[in-house]
Amino acid sequence: MFNSNKKLILIDYQNSYFYQQKRKKLRRKYYKIMIIIVFLALLSAVIVPLAQANTDNTERHSQINSTTNGLIHGPQLIFDHPDSSQRVALPVDLNAQVKVSGLVAYVNVTQVFINPYNMTLEGKYQFPLPENAAIKHLKVNVAGTEIIGEIMEKKAAKARYKKAKTQGKKASLVQQQRPNLFTNNIANIPAQSRVVVTLQFIMPVTFDKNQATLKLPLAMTARYHSDNAQPSPAEEDSAIIVPIANALAKSQASINIELNAGVEITNIDSNSHQIKVQQLNHDKSSYLITLAHEQTLANSDFTLSWQLQANEKPQVSSFTEKVADEYFTLLTFFPPQVEATTNTFARDIIFIIDTSGSMQGNSMTQAKASLQQAISQLGKNDSFNIIAFDNSVDLLFPMTNMASDYNIGQAQQFIKNLNADGGTEMYRPLSQALVMARAAQQTQQAIRQVVFITDGAVSNEFELMQLLSGAQQKFRLFTVGIGAAPNGYFMKKAAQFGRGSYVFIQNSADVQRQMSALMAKINHPAISNIELIFDSQVHQEVEVYPKRIADLYLGEPMQIAVKSKLPITSVQVMGNTTTEPWYQQVIIDDSSSAHGISTLWARRKIADLLDTLVTGADKQQVKAQVISTSLAHQTLSPYTSFIAVEKKIVPLPLMAKNSLLSAKSKLTNLAKAHENLMVAMPKTALGWHQQLLIGLLLIMLAPILLCFAARRKSYALKPKS
């Protein structure tokens, strides 16, 4: 009875409204705590790695900065000093002689560095070469020895390299890599001595919107006595060695530029330094430019720009260089500076778009966007067609059709339905495009232009190139590379064979801009079908590069290099403008000699020789020719290397110290200026962590909301008290 009573009460109590509420509250409390804990855990899981990554990043960056000192835009010497792992020294004296011929600059830079420490050190000389520059000559003069850089055949260079390799290569730590950095190791720089480095290289002058710009990476330290706000480490160092610095302080940074633009120019200006300009001849094309007054080049590149005199007709300038009984002539074609006129060539454009599986995702979206963009810019005189291919070929029309509104609408529908799938068979679409019939309404003069949009992931490049080189030269091929890692080499070469150009679009944001730039460009060839006619009697042996002369486009000057046995006095240039045939006789006077033209010619010749490999030339023969050209003109090629070898000038007599020095110098030190290949780096993160976290967050949010819902309900249910 007692028992049962108790039981009854207990059961009663357990199920009573009060207990239910109490339990519910408790449960809810636990629920909330649990959610908060899970939420916090999740948050920390998200934030901690992020924060870590950030600190890691900043640490590494500061490391990088401390080693390279952020002064990479000028020549520098990095000492192997035990104190701080590396000491950066900028030149205390710098002398640059520049000769500009049209759009080529030949630069000779002499730099003086000082080893300010009281011990013999090793150093690493660095020079940031401008893009597309080619080193011609290197000479390092340090403590009675000379290091001379020259171009040698690979085998010979390798042999020497091996001999020197006993010194052992050091593995570098994590550091930022920069392209086109020329480096050379210099061993045994005696205490408080000078290092004189002479470097000669050829660089192109950039040309944009009628303005030519020359940019020399020539930073140097401020004088030790100057009131520079930010003393560089090298400057502090130079204060230590006052005697040597004093001796050098009399000299100063100097830049002499002999500018020969070939055509009339105006507005010579430098926005980095004050300059003095002297006119050298009467036709406003030749000038001597020097720095205005005593000044240093502290921490900034030297830039020089000049404006071409506006002209309605295309202009051709010429320069000659004589190298060992052979004459090298450079013809530079400057397009006319007219606004895009209504006079345009009628065109017969075929777009080929790659829809293979490798284009999937972002690449395909980009390709479609760029194609839409191109289609929308067609004129009424143009005819067009679209070929889409994967392992099969899909045609919009059987032949090219006029760009009427109806046809364009159809094309846009066609593009919308494109899907990336299947393999890559490029041969068929390309061969079809080359022989496709043109629209009946199209005129005979219309230029056949093929615009090829692809990621270039092909394996049969050689077959394709053979197809292109064997085809009739009535077409122009423009390649548009898309995606993270297109096959740039193939596309560049294909465009070259097709006398067109290559555009690489990496960001989807750039598609619109770059594509419309390409379309605008190919819309207005200033002169097409250019031909050169030499006096056949005088010049039996004329070698012209490029062998296939491309069209001249607005805003894009073109250079043609010619080698001849005898000096050329005149060339007749012919071509077609939009309205009429164009003819010009170029009189060449060799009074103004130029530098670096033979190198330019040799570079072109080597490229051309290598291209013949594609069309089945004998490998050994080509190799021999390339090597001989490369050595004769000191230009880098795949079969030659640039190596720097230490040579003793005059062996000083006596002294035990000296014998030690010479023993060390046997360990020749050398560097190779590599021909660099560029790799586009693909996207290498799936990002599934992020997605997973977002998903988990969403899932976590749901119970919180439920909890709120429950609470609201309970409030609503609660009797008013």
Partner 1 sequence: MLRLIAIVLMLVGIIVCAQASWLPAKAWLSQHLINASWQQAMKGQQLKQAKQQSKSSKPIAIKPWPWADTFPIAALDFQRLDKNIVVLNGGDPTTLAFSAGAVVPFNQTDTNSPFVVAGHRDSHFAFLQDIILKDVISLTNAHGRTQLYQVERIDIVDASAAQLALPADEANLVLITCYPFEGISDNEDERYVITATPL
User: In the bound complex, what is the minimum distance in angstroms from residue 434's beta carbon to partner 1?
Assistant: 24
Query: Could you tell me which stretch among 411-419, 431-439, 657-665, 677-685 binds partner 1 (CB under 8 A)?
Result: 677-685
Binding partner 1 by CB under 8 A: which of 167, 192, 305, 362? 362
Q: What is the largest CA-CA distance in the chain?
A: 138
**Sheet with strand 326-334: strands edge to edge:** 315-323, 326-334, 558-564, 542-545
119-178: contacts with partner 1 (CB under 8 A): 154, 169, 171-178
For residue 381, CA distances in Å to 164, 387, 551 come to 66, 20, 20
Candidate list 19, 23, 49, 165; residue touching partner 1; CB under 8 A: 49
Nearer to partner 1, 183 or 246 (CB): 183
In the range 53-92, which residues lie near partner 1 by CB under 8 A?
Answer: 53, 56-57, 60, 64
Pick the binder of partner 1 from 363, 366, 383, 625 (CB under 8 A).
363
Given a contact cutoff of 8 angstroms between Cβ atoms, the answer to whether 479 and 449 are in contact is no
Q: Which of residues 177-216 bind partner 1 (CB under 8 A)?
A: 177-180
Q: How far is the CB of 608 from partner 1 (least distance, A)?
A: 18
User: Residue count at the site for partner 1 (CB under 8 A)?
Assistant: 79
3 state SS for 382-440? CEEEEEEECCCEEECCCCCEECCHHHHHHHHHHHHCCCCCCCCCCHHHHHHHHHCCCCC
Footprint on residues 246-305 left by partner 1 (CB under 8 A): none
Q: Give the DSSP per-residue string, 111-147.
A: EEEE--SSS-EEEEEEEEPPTT-EEEEEEEEETTEEE
278 contacts: CB under 8 Å, gap ≥ 6: 287, 288, 289, 290
| Contact positions with partner 1 (CB under 8 A) in 439-458 | 455-457
Contact flags string 418-437 toward partner 1, x per CB under 8 A: ----xxx-------------
Which of residues 58 and 266 has its CB atom nearest to partner 1 in the complex? 58
Inter-residue contact 585 to 570 (CB < 8 Å): yes
Tokens found for residue 633: 């003109």
In the complex with partner 1, the residue whose CB is nearer, 23 or 713, is 713
Q: From CA 364, how far away is CA 418, in angstroms rounded?
A: 9
The piece of 11-19, 65-73, 109-117, 350-358 that touches partner 1 (CB under 8 A) is 350-358
Fill in the per-residue mask, 618 to 647: x = in contact with partner 1 (CB under 8 A), - = not in contact.
--------------------x--x------
- Sequence letter at residue 624: A
CB of 332 to partner 1, least distance (A): 28
- Report residue 309 as tokens: 């005199």
Here's the x/- map for partner 1, 488-517, by CB under 8 A: it reads as -xx---------------------------
Contact between 585 and partner 1 by CB under 8 A: the answer reads: no
Footprint (CB under 8 A) of partner 1, residues 307-346: none
Which three-class secondary structure state does DSSP give residue 704? helix
Can you tell me which of 649, 678, 716, 717 binds partner 1, judged by CB under 8 A? Answer: 678
Question: Could you tell me the smallest distance in angstroms from the CB atom of residue 545 to partner 1?
Answer: 21
State the Cα–Cα distance between residues 101 and 260, nearest whole angstrom: 5
Residue closest to 290 by CA, chosen among 338, 256, 247: 256
Which residue's entry shows tokens 């640490």?
A: 59
Question: Are the C-beta atoms of 114 and 244 separated by less than 8 Å?
Answer: yes
Binding mask 656-675 for partner 1 (x = CB under 8 A): ----------------x-xx
- Residues 500, 521: contact at Cβ < 8 Å? no
- In whole angstroms, give the CA distance from residue 705 to residue 711: 10
Closest C-alpha to 328, from 316, 319, 337:
319
Q: Report the alpha-carbon distance of residue 421 to residue 180 in Å, rounded.
A: 38
Tell me the closest approach of the beta carbon of residue 369 to partner 1, in angstroms.
17
**Interface with partner 1, residue 50, by CB under 8 A:** yes
Q: Nearer Cβ to partner 1, position 190 or 422? A: 422
For the segment 464-493, give every residue that binds partner 1 (CB under 8 A).
483-485, 487, 489-490
Query: Near partner 1 by CB under 8 A, which window of 98-106, 358-366, 408-416, 604-612?
Result: 358-366
The structure tokens listed for 482 are: 């898309």
With contacts defined by CB under 8 A, name the span among 31-39, 303-311, 393-401, 702-710 that binds partner 1: 702-710
Judged by CB under 8 A, the stretch of 406-414, 538-546, 595-603, 694-702 that binds partner 1 is 694-702
